[in-house]
Structure 1
Amino acid sequence: MLLLRSLVFQVLFYLSTFVLMILGSPVFLLPRRLGWPLVPFWARVELFLLKWIVGMKVEYRGLENIPQGGYIVAAKHQSAWETFALLPLFPSPTYVLKRELRYIPIFGWYTAKFRQIPVDRGKRSAALAAMTERAREAVAENRQILIFPEGTRRGAGEEPRYKYGVAHLYRSLGAPVLPVALNSGIFWPRRGWCLYPGTVVVEFLPPIAPGLDIETFHARLVEEVETATDRLIDEAAAAAPASPVVRRALQRRADRELQSA
């Protein structure tokens, strides 16, 4: 039954996304700010489907920590969930995403229309410079830059691998960074078809003000996000100790701590 519900959601996720992209195509004729409401509406549709088909709910904590204006959002990345579920919480977000997504028919057109920031991972220094310039323009327009500091999904409990791209942006832009912890990987694992019922918890931590050196900022970001994420995983484990994803997450973390001891 769990697999069936998961497959039904997956089918409806892609179907609803395609339908909304087609029906929403007139936004290409509108200014960006007038067409943007289509995107958070799409995210809310998918969250609704997750809740009523899979039983996956969401709880947002620390909303009072979200600042005004332009800033950087540095979020933990455990699953596909946060690639859309965070969108409705910000007035004018732009994701830092891999350039290849621009080549997906229709979807890529939307990323260009709403000026998301593509990154060519094969061109390291040039990509960093281009990303920084686009991000500087976005912050000047009071937009929010959403970035996953690890660059790709890391399963719940896996060893964190934060890259320095977000630290470079922090230093170059002089903008605050909003750290975000979550436990989405417990309910939407990085691998496999099964999605699990429960409550994804997202916690917005106090912003890190500009002015720190890169190493200090990087260490603080990792420490704060990982500490909060471990706590959220423990909460999920207390609520569903028999979950196979929970057990795997706790085992990964135990193995990691043993290796570092």
Structure 2
Amino acid sequence: MVVLRSVLFLLLQSVLTIVFAVFALFTFPFSAFTRYRLITGWNRSVVWLARWICGIRYQVIGLENLPDEAAIIMAKHQSAWETIALPILLPPMAIVLKRELLRIPFFGWGMAMLSPIAIDRGDGRAALKQIAEQGKQRLADGLGVLIFPEGTRVASGVVGKYGIGGAWLATHAKALVVPIAHNAGEVWPKNALLKHPGLITVSIGPAIDPSGMKPDALNQRVQAWIEAEMALLPNYAQTATK
């Protein structure tokens, strides 16, 4: 049944992607916030399909930690699930992503309409400058910035190398940083067709004020909180099922 449900989910997700990509092109005249609300209808649909077809549920803890102003979100990266779900679980934000994703037919078209920060990961210095410049502009416009400091998805239980981009932006823009841990990789593994039923826990940490901190120190503090929280996520899942 897992194979059957996973294939059905993939087919429906593909159809939704094509439909919303074409729809996204017609949202160009609207403001960034209006485009965001309309286009993330795709995200809501996919998360709904994942629940009702694959049995992937989720819970969010720590919502009270989200600041009122636009902030920088630094999140664990295990799965495609968080890239789809976080934009609808959190306030509107610009996602930092690799530029080649925008070249993917249909999916890339829709992403381009969400004011992302598309970087060339092969040129680290230029990417850092781009994150700082465009990130400041997005924050000034009232959009948060979502960055996955590990850069690429890592398997469940693995700690990737935390890039400096998010911390660099935070210290230069003097914006709060919100760390996020989750265990989506347990049910929706990276690069895997099969999606398994289960409960994903998304844990939002207390906002960190970067004032007086160097990027390296801030990055280490974010990593320490996320990885410590990762060890607690199974306990949250057990509590939710009682």
TM-score, normalised to structure 1's length? 0.86
Change (3 A) 1:24 1:131: closer
- Corresponding position of 2:32: 32
Whether contact under 8 Å (2:2, 2:196) holds in the other structure is yes
Partner AA of 1:216 in structure 2? A
Structure 2 residue 154 is the aligned partner of structure 1 residue 144: no
- Corresponding position of 2:128: 128
Q: Computing the radius of gyration over CA atoms, which structure comes out larger, 1 or 2?
A: 1
Query: Is the partner of 2:201 in helix, strand or coil?
Result: strand
**Counterpart-to-counterpart distance in 2, 1:231 and 1:106:** 38
1:126-166 CA distance string (max 9 Å, x none): 12112210001011112100000000001110133211122
Q: Quote the offset at 1:187 in angstroms.
A: 0.5
Query: Is the partner of 1:133 in helix, strand or coil?
Result: helix
Instruction: State the aligned residue count.
Output: 240
Change (3 A) 1:239 1:186: farther
Q: Quote the offset at 1:25 in angstroms.
A: 3.4
**Counterpart-to-counterpart distance in 2, 1:63 and 1:239:** 16
Q: Quote the offset at 1:213 in angstroms.
A: 2.3
- Corresponding position of 1:216: 217
Structure 2 residue 90 is the aligned partner of structure 1 residue 90: yes
1:57-96 CA distance string (max 9 Å, x none): 1101101111122210000000000111011133321000
Change (3 A) 1:171 1:15: same
More off after superposition, 188-197 vs 20-29: 20-29
Partner AA of 2:218 in structure 1? F
Query: Is the partner of 1:37 in helix, strand or coil?
Result: helix
Identity among equivalent positions (%) equals 37
Partner AA of 1:32 in structure 2? A
Partner AA of 1:205 in structure 2? G
Query: Is the partner of 2:210 in helix, strand or coil?
Result: coil
**Counterpart-to-counterpart distance in 2, 1:218 and 1:209:** 12
Change (3 A) 1:159 1:237: farther
Q: Quote the offset at 1:227 in angstroms.
A: 0.8
**Counterpart-to-counterpart distance in 1, 2:174 and 2:94:** 17
- Corresponding position of 1:79: 79
More off after superposition, 220-229 vs 230-239: 230-239
Partner AA of 1:194 in structure 2? L
**Counterpart-to-counterpart distance in 2, 1:12 and 1:147:** 28
- Corresponding position of 2:104: 104
Whether contact under 8 Å (1:186, 1:236) holds in the other structure is no
- Corresponding position of 2:117: 117
**Counterpart-to-counterpart distance in 2, 1:238 and 1:177:** 28
Partner AA of 1:54 in structure 2? C
